């Protein structure tokens, strides 16, 4: 069942754009791991980066966190992060844009 992960990542002072560049760096490992959608954005909150992800399953998302590429990426991001996080996760059950599966 498609899994959604939506969140905010606080950026260290002055590092928001670096964090955006890091998170949007092309990663075919994510697709291979079952990532269907991964949008990164900015909004009204300063020093905040927004992410919106869809995965083939919650298990695929969880497993991706153990991939060497993803672990390296998380380690590289650490100095850009303030530590503040927010958001939520859910199981997708449908969409008004398509007929039921």
* C-alpha 40 chain-centroid distance: 7
If DSSP codes are grouped into helix, strand and coil, which group holds residue 46?
A: coil
Selected from 62, 76, 85, 91, the binder of a copy of itself by CB under 8 A is 91
* C-alpha 12 chain-centroid distance: 17
Asked if 74 touches a copy of itself (CB under 8 A), the answer is no
Asked if 82 touches a copy of itself (CB under 8 A), the answer is no
Selected from 41, 62, 65, 71, the binder of a copy of itself by CB under 8 A is 41
Selected from 10, 11, 15, 30, the binder of a copy of itself by CB under 8 A is 30
Selected from 4, 9, 11, 80, the binder of a copy of itself by CB under 8 A is 4
Longest dimension (CA), the chain: 45
Q: Which two tokens stand for residue 48?
A: 């905040």
Smallest gap, in angstroms, from Cβ of residue 73 to a copy of itself?
Answer: 9
The span from the CA of 28 to the CA of 21, in Å, is: 16
8 Å CB contact between 85 and 19: no
Query: Which positions lie near a copy of itself, rule CB under 8 A?
Result: 2, 4, 6, 8, 20, 23-27, 30-31, 35, 37-45, 50, 52, 54, 88-100
């Amino acid at each position: 069942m498609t899994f959604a992960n939506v969140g905010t990542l606080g950026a260290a002072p002055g590092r928001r754009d670096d964090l955006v560049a890091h998170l949007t760096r092309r990663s075919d490992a994510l697709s291979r791991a079952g990532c269907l959608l991964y949008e990164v954005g900015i909004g009204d909150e300063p020093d905040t980066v927004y992410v919106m992800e869809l995965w083939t399953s919650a298990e695929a998302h969880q497993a991706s966190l153990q991939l060497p590429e993803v672990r390296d990426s998380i380690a590289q991001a650490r100095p850009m992060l303030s530590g503040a996080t927010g958001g939520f996760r859910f199981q997708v059950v449908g969409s008004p844009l398509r007929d039921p599966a």
